[in-house]
Chains A and B, each alone.
Chain A
């Protein structure tokens, strides 16, 4: 696959799936199942990633350089050597930050316009 170069801004806006995966990986490395669980917990069940969607998105995010297969694994008790772990890349972290800022700006505008109290 052809890698997608370019600035972090090129990746905005993010699709919901990408955003949630980035968020899930922002605090620690996780494997696929772990990402699914974290997203479901965090959103209180309102966002559920199906396996096909999840891994397809992961594949594309790896190709565009937002995440990577992780070096270094968690502590051996929690580890499962057969599972693949993922982590944010520098680019991924930048993109996540930019998207969060974009959303924050939106919320501010909504507050100003009294859409959101």
Chain B
């Protein structure tokens, strides 16, 4: 840089500015650099103070003008290309067509190459499209309700937990006092109802909901009406709304279904409406009945068993709604301190609730499948590099005849994109088949799976991905192939010398190995995680056990004695069935989902109805429950037949309960006060082991058990312990149940092993899919190494022949080739381990019992990859040893 004024020295600031001027494009700098610097200098020297502002001004000026100048260069280059090729806009289009035709012709001449590439790409793009269609259908698409982004889910939090239900009186207050919802509805969990009055007793799935439920979700009945607030008073009249399928099945879809009577659990319900096909919230039910807010237990503010669904007003945000609900919660807390202290209603978007538990797994799979595509691109790029080298003479001729380098480059890129598009079509077909197969298998692990489809959005994704893929794998080989020395290429006569593009090929292999390793390690972590999860001891014996539910209608089973008599009769008959060991009853099935909880107090230490009370899960079980479940008795005794109505109240607690409430003393003999509506006092007679009631991966909750004969609430689940394969006994159970009560419907039966498997279906799914990706990646990487080394050998036929002629042994040749292959692999493994180290932390939420950087899991995959690489290196090496020296030396090139 010449000095501006003779004799002046540039200051530090001016030198910095001069360096920054390097950001401008070369041509612009050539023309104006001196003036730019002068303009800066003049201002800079004229102002010894306030230079900070000056710098800011100039930096801002740079920030605006540098991109603009670069953009100008690009725009001119584009125009220049067209100008240089001597074409206008329209003619440019026709050259594109020319390129496409040429590409097709040239690909047709090498069908083998085309098939390999299309298959590789089809696999990569197909897998990506399939996963994306699942992500799109499950995570991205809004729920199938009108204006679904206005829908929220409501639940309670309190000092003892943050995922509790809402009590009916609280709900009614929220409904009455809020101004932010167009509808705020409540629902109970669905349950089976006994339908009688038909030719044979049936079981139907029904759900109790409040008025406004259908309106909140935007459902409009096809026949009749939905529930009104009057319907919520069920003492005088009970109504029901049917689902479309149920209407078709039970009433033949006849139009005069309105006002027809159904007997559910012994009570008469009149049909008032039918919903359209497919209407449901989360799970499909057969019919809906109104929540009876006039029933006794629905008036108790301390009983929480509702979840809420609401539709926000159009002009209301979620934050504002939550703020108003907090105000109402505060008011309820002050008005009813005994029941509502620390209780709050929380609302979250409904979409979040529907898919939140599967989002991390799906996002992981989306990322992983992208890696698979990159590996596939690597292989295809290598193939193209090889092919490009082989086409040197052809390209040289074209260049000699006047095609510019840019034109040749464009031609080659067109070929790549065309290959990618064909691969994309194949991949889309694969994706359709794959998604269809997945839907047919109906894994329980993915919510909204039936809403997944390969639709326009997904196909657009596939198209865009194909184009990007084509550019990604095509760019390097095209750049390399178009950069040729015409004379040398023509002289070589088609066979290029060794060493061209070797670096690029080597780099691709290293990247492929690294990416495969990352996938393998990820899959390994999930496999390890799943293995540990499935080995968790749930606290009871899951083998040889069958479970079923029984819905005893309150009309015919009003008293506890009647229910207990039923269970006794069923138990006696089942025990006399060969293969059955015993039958137990429980109100809540472990790992069956759902639970009941209530407040307790130890007299003298806590006080029910105040903050000192504590919360635990309550269960009503038969005396033989712990024996049948094979849950260990840790202290005290089990229930006996002596514990029944009239004898002192007893209760058994489990280990987590004991550890929390009685950490330093024996609980046996202590008394508990239990809130069952009225205060129920019982003496602790035993402590049993904890059970993973909610999930295998979760904590064991504190539970207490009441004997069936003293407190027969719920009591709807039978657990049958067998001495033989449970499936041989499943016929006997419904037979015996209908012997005892012919009017009871048959329930579906599950073996406990099935139940457990269902509870870990999602981790299994993630593991299987990621394992599939890792396997595909392994194959692709192996093929990639094999291909690159094969090419390496073919390039060096002359050199190898020479060495052999000069005395090299087989061993030396093998070492040469395998050494190169393993060298590349080792580098790839190193990069891959580092990459895996950084990336696996993103899957830690999916892991159970194993850390994201578990050393053992990190050690195995590299060994596996190294072995595959060894095999892939050995095969071409062996071929190298077969090169007859004379033949090799005779080869031209």
Contacts and interface: CB of A to CB of B under 8 A. Distances in A.
A33 B64 CA distance: 19
B72 A54 contact: no
Interface of A: 1-2, 31-33, 36, 48, 50-56, 59-60, 82-84
Nearest to A52: B65
Given A33-B42, A56-B68, A84 B35 contact: yes
Interface string B49-82: 0000000011011101110110010001001000
B24 A52 contact: yes
B75 to A, nearest CB: 9
27 contacts: A1-B76, A2-B79, A33-B35, A33-B39, A33-B42, A36-B39, A50-B60, A50-B61, A50-B65, A51-B36, A51-B58, A52-B36, A52-B61, A52-B66, A52-B69, A53-B64, A54-B39, A55-B28, A55-B31, A55-B32, A55-B36, A56-B65, A59-B28, A59-B31, A59-B32, A83-B35, A83-B38
Given A50-B57, A50-B58, A56 B28 contact: yes
B83 interface: yes
Contacts of A33: 35, 38-39, 42
A2 B83 contact: yes
A32 B35 contact: yes
B34 interface: yes
B107 to A, nearest CB: 36
A52 B35 contact: no
Contacts of B65: 50, 52-53, 56
Contacts of B57: 48, 50
Contacts of B83: 2
A51 B20 CA distance: 13
Contacts of B61: 50-53
A60 B72 CA distance: 9
A50 B28 CA distance: 15
A82 B33 CA distance: 13
Nearest to B32: A55
Contacts of B62: 50, 52
Contacts of B35: 31-33, 51, 55, 83-84
Interface in B27-49: 28, 31-32, 34-36, 38-40, 42
A42 B554 CA distance: 94
B891 to A, nearest CB: 52
Query: Do most interface residues of chain B lie in helix, strand or loop, or is the interface mixed?
Result: helix
Given A52-B69, A56-B72, 18 more contacts: A1-B76, A2-B76, A2-B79, A33-B35, A36-B39, A50-B58, A50-B61, A50-B62, A50-B64, A51-B58, A52-B64, A52-B66, A53-B61, A54-B39, A55-B31, A56-B28, A56-B68, A83-B35
Contacts of B64: 50, 52-53
Q: Which 3 residue pairs spanning A and B have beta carbons closest together?
A: A50-B61, A52-B65, A51-B39
A67 to B, nearest CB: 14
A33 B37 CA distance: 11
Interface residues on B, range: 20 to 34
B38 A56 contact: no
B233 to A, nearest CB: 66
A84 B24 CA distance: 20
A48 B60 CA distance: 12
Query: Do most interface residues of chain A lie in helix, strand or loop, or is the interface mixed?
Result: helix
A60 to B, nearest CB: 7
Interface of B: 24, 28, 31-32, 34-36, 38-40, 42, 57-58, 60-62, 64-66, 68-69, 72, 76, 79, 83
A51 B79 contact: no
A83 B38 CA distance: 10
A52 B66 CA distance: 7
A49 to B, nearest CB: 8
Nearest to B61: A50
Contacts of A56: 28, 65, 68-69, 72
Contacts of A36: 39
Contacts of B39: 32-33, 36, 51, 54
A47 to B, nearest CB: 12
A109 B31 CA distance: 43
A55 B34 CA distance: 11
Nearest to B60: A50
A71 B526 CA distance: 77
Nearest to A49: B61
B28 to A, nearest CB: 7
Nearest to B64: A53
Contacts of B32: 55, 59
B771 to A, nearest CB: 55
A18 to B, nearest CB: 13
Given A2-B83, A56-B65, A51 B40 contact: yes
Contacts of A55: 28, 31-32, 35-36
Nearest to A62: B31
B795 to A, nearest CB: 45
A33 B45 CA distance: 14
Residue of A31, A51, A55 ringed by the most chain B CB atoms within 10 A: A51
A56 B58 CA distance: 14
B351 to A, nearest CB: 46
B653 to A, nearest CB: 78
Contacts of B68: 56
Residue of A2, A36, A52 ringed by the most chain B CB atoms within 10 A: A52
Nearest to A60: B72
Nearest to B17: A51
Contacts of B79: 2
Nearest to A51: B39
B60 A82 contact: no
Contacts of A51: 35-36, 39-40, 58, 61
A16 B182 CA distance: 51
Nearest to B4: A82
Nearest to A36: B39
A54 B40 CA distance: 12
A52 B70 CA distance: 12
A54 B65 CA distance: 9
A1 B60 CA distance: 27
A43 B79 CA distance: 38
Contacts of B58: 50-51
A52 B31 CA distance: 12
Nearest to A50: B61
A89 to B, nearest CB: 19
A38 B69 CA distance: 24
B683 to A, nearest CB: 87
A88 B832 CA distance: 62
Contacts of B34: 82
A1 B65 CA distance: 18
Contacts of B42: 33
A56 B68 CA distance: 8
Contacts of A84: 35
Nearest to B65: A52
A104 to B, nearest CB: 30
B805 to A, nearest CB: 61
A60 B73 CA distance: 12
A52 B57 CA distance: 11
A83 B28 CA distance: 16
A35 to B, nearest CB: 10
Contacts of A31: 35
Contacts of A2: 76, 79, 83
A54 B39 CA distance: 10
Nearest to B40: A51
A54 B35 CA distance: 10
A9 to B, nearest CB: 23
A36 B72 CA distance: 22
B323 to A, nearest CB: 43
A14 B58 CA distance: 24
B276 to A, nearest CB: 57
Contacts of B31: 55, 59
Contacts of B69: 52, 56
A82 B31 CA distance: 13
Nearest to B42: A33
